[in-house]
Copies of this chain bind each other. A is one copy, B any other.
Amino acid sequence: MKNNEDINSQPELLSIIDGTKSYIYEQLWNICAGPLCDLPKPGEKVYYFPQGHIELVETSTREVLLDEMRPNINLPSKLPCPVISIQLKMEKNTDEVYAQISLMPDTTEVVIPITNDGNRKPMVCSFTKALTASDTSTHGVLSLPKKHALECLPPLDMSQPVPTQELVVKDLHDNQWTFKHTFRGTPRRHLFTTGWTAFVTSKKLAAGDNFIILKGENGELLVGIRRAKYEIDHIPSSVISAQCMLHGVIASVVNAFNTNCMFIVVYKPRASQFVVRYDKFVDALKNKFNFGSRFKMRCEGEDFSEKRYSGIVIGVKDFSPHWKNLEWRSLQVQWDEVSPQKPSS
């Protein structure tokens, strides 16, 4: 069954804010975001790094803009900002989760109440499966781990010779998907058959990508994905030029600080680290990474195991000529074993 026809008629982005669904949708968003996502909460204070923001725009437009812009940048290297509000969203075409964060220039007058979300925690049950080559082949059958199928899926009528049921699930776009859930083969195992290929095709899933199922307390099923390899999405400059986009980032922030009004930034769990929680930042600063320091970092492994790499700091250099000696600096690390990666404190 092809459920993907009306994807284009959906509102482009889903704001997960409506009452009843809010909590379970938020849970799904977090699982899709992955274990390394460190989203701030409304009311919390963060540091906003304009440079990081600009770099993301550069990368997204495949243009190097910072140097051209040099004379016009007149921003501090980091700006302390309370978080006004957060909208959890998901990119329409790729299902990449991101958040739109409204930030306020830091003024002691404005007090944003920290949202109290400790009271409402319905039970949710979920599982994540890394798709195998067979799962994503043209044969179109998803093999479900027995434990997860029993825990999260409605029970099958095992008195039947071939127990079968139809499961209707929703993704974060509120699109509906139908999977035929059967228990067959020798030995018997839980499978998604009809409907699975359509899902794989529509979401462009490949072996290694993660399939997520989440059951709400009322039994409703939600599905999500997390891709194995993260690809930054390159936005076309066919509406506004890359030049405009960079101007926009800077102008929005400058305007916000001049008129003391909020500005909006996009937080991508797997890309943008230019919005950092205040206490995380303070913690990081305590570790003065200097030459010869041992260095450890968590990193998304290819299979989403939270790999930890460690190495020795062999250099400290300024990241950009625009902001000298700022705390967001590049460390050159000699890794103990594996692939180098550019970390920021």
Show the binding face of A for B, using Cβ within 8 Å.
12-13, 56-57, 60, 62, 71-72, 89, 91-93, 96, 98, 100, 233-241, 243-252, 255, 259, 263-266, 268
Q: How far is the CA of A13 from the CA of B265 in the complex (A)?
A: 26
Contact B237 A248 (CB under 8 A): no
Nearest chain B residue, comparing its CB with the CB of A272: B239
Contact A243 B266 (CB under 8 A): no
Between A13, A72, A239, A265, the greatest number of chain B beta carbons within 10 A of the residue's beta carbon is seen for A239
Q: How far is the CA of A240 from the CA of B265 in the complex (A)?
A: 7
Nearest chain B residue, comparing its CB with the CB of A234: B12
- List 16 additional A-B contacts (Cβ < 8 Å) besides A233-B236, A239-B266: A12-B62, A12-B234, A12-B237, A60-B239, A91-B238, A92-B236, A98-B238, A100-B241, A235-B236, A240-B249, A243-B248, A244-B252, A244-B264, A245-B248, A248-B251, A251-B251
Residues from chain B with a CB closer than 8 A to the CB of A239 are: 56-57, 60, 233, 235, 245, 266
Residues from chain B with a CB closer than 8 A to the CB of A89 are: 238
Q: How far is the CB of A332 from chain B (nearest CB, A)?
A: 29
Residues from chain B with a CB closer than 8 A to the CB of A236 are: 12-13, 91-93, 233, 235
Chosen A-B contacts, 23 in total, with CB atoms closer than 8 Å, are A12-B62, A12-B237, A60-B239, A72-B259, A91-B238, A100-B237, A100-B241, A233-B236, A235-B239, A240-B245, A240-B249, A241-B252, A241-B264, A241-B265, A243-B252, A245-B245, A245-B248, A247-B252, A248-B248, A248-B249, A248-B251, A250-B251, A251-B251
Q: How far is the CB of A37 from chain B (nearest CB, A)?
A: 15
Q: How far is the CA of A263 from the CA of B100 in the complex (A)?
A: 28
Q: How far is the CA of A243 from the CA of B244 in the complex (A)?
A: 12
Residues from chain B with a CB closer than 8 A to the CB of A234 are: 12
Contact B249 A238 (CB under 8 A): no
Q: How far is the CB of A265 from chain B (nearest CB, A)?
A: 7
Residues from chain B with a CB closer than 8 A to the CB of A98 are: 238
Q: How far is the CA of A250 from the CA of B243 in the complex (A)?
A: 11
Q: Given A12-B62, A255-B72, verify A266-B247 contact (CB < 8 Å).
A: no
Contact A251 B247 (CB under 8 A): yes
Q: How far is the CA of A302 from the CA of B250 in the complex (A)?
A: 42
Residues from chain B with a CB closer than 8 A to the CB of A251 are: 244, 247-248, 250-251
Q: How far is the CA of A250 from the CA of B244 in the complex (A)?
A: 8
Q: Given A245-B248, A264-B244, verify A238-B56 contact (CB < 8 Å).
A: no
Q: How far is the CB of A263 from chain B (nearest CB, A)?
A: 7
Nearest chain B residue, comparing its CB with the CB of A98: B238
